[in-house]
Amino acid sequence: IHTANTLCFCFLQMNANDCHDPPKYWTIHGLWPDRAEDCNRTWHFNVTEIKDLLSDMRHYWPDVLHSSLNRTQFWKHEWEKHGTCAATLEVLNSQKKYFGKALELYQHIDLNGCLLKAGIKPSSSYYKMTAIKEALTRFYGVTPKIQCLPPEEGEKAQTIGQIEFCFTKGLQLVNCTALEGESNPMQAHLKLGTSELSVCNDTLPTYYPSEVQ
């Protein structure tokens, strides 16, 4: 079992075409140790251990890719792939602690509120990626990792889709320094339609819609 040097906390904006009832706000994708996956394959997900968190889980960490009858699959995947590795830290060493701490970090970071305060909100016009980065860095004091969908054929703008914040093992914010193309668990983990998320291009205009179309 590897103990993470850093943890990555990821906010997600989903593709309206790929989703069941896509939310119009940033939700949680996951809380990931940086160099480990599937650390304990015998430690299976048990939804009854997080029964007190279910209301918040459904709202802030929704599974929008599966039908309403099977929406615990996302949480099961995140626990078994990443949570069993994060559990080497005492503060995350149970399913309730892992999911509960992720919900707590979500509220603490308040990405929706931060972007709104910075004047960055869903719009039919484009933003400069450098302006988005600067606003987030100014607000949080660290540089997150921002991922985008590349421009559709014939289009000029990339679409913002995922924002990752990095933490020390003590859950203090630190800069995300992962470079594009690095092979580590903090890559996108997600394919939307026919395009995969990748680190945003600083020179391309950036579209921030209320739902990724």
Q: Which residues pair with 7 in a beta bridge?
A: 33, 167
Q: What contacts 63, CB < 8 A, 6 or more positions away?
A: 70, 71, 72, 73, 74, 75
Distances (CA, A) of 75 to 3, 48, 80, 118: 21, 12, 9, 31
- At residue 207, the 3 state secondary structure works out as strand
Report the C-alpha gap between 111 and 107 in whole angstroms: 8
Residue by residue, what is the 3-state secondary structure of 54-104?
A: HHHHHHHCCCCCCCHHHCCHHHHHHHHHHHHHHCCCHHHCCHHHHHHHHHH
Residue 46: count other Cβ atoms within 10 Å of its Cβ.
12
Does 2 participate in catalysis according to the annotation?
no
Q: What contacts 154, CB < 8 A, 6 or more positions away?
A: none
Catalytic residue among 78, 80, 164, 189: 78
**What is the token pair recorded at 156?**
């000029």
Does 80 participate in catalysis according to the annotation?
no
Catalytic residue among 80, 82, 164, 189: 82
Does 78 participate in catalysis according to the annotation?
yes
Catalytic residue among 29, 80, 164, 189: 29
Supply the residues annotated as catalytic: 29, 78, 82
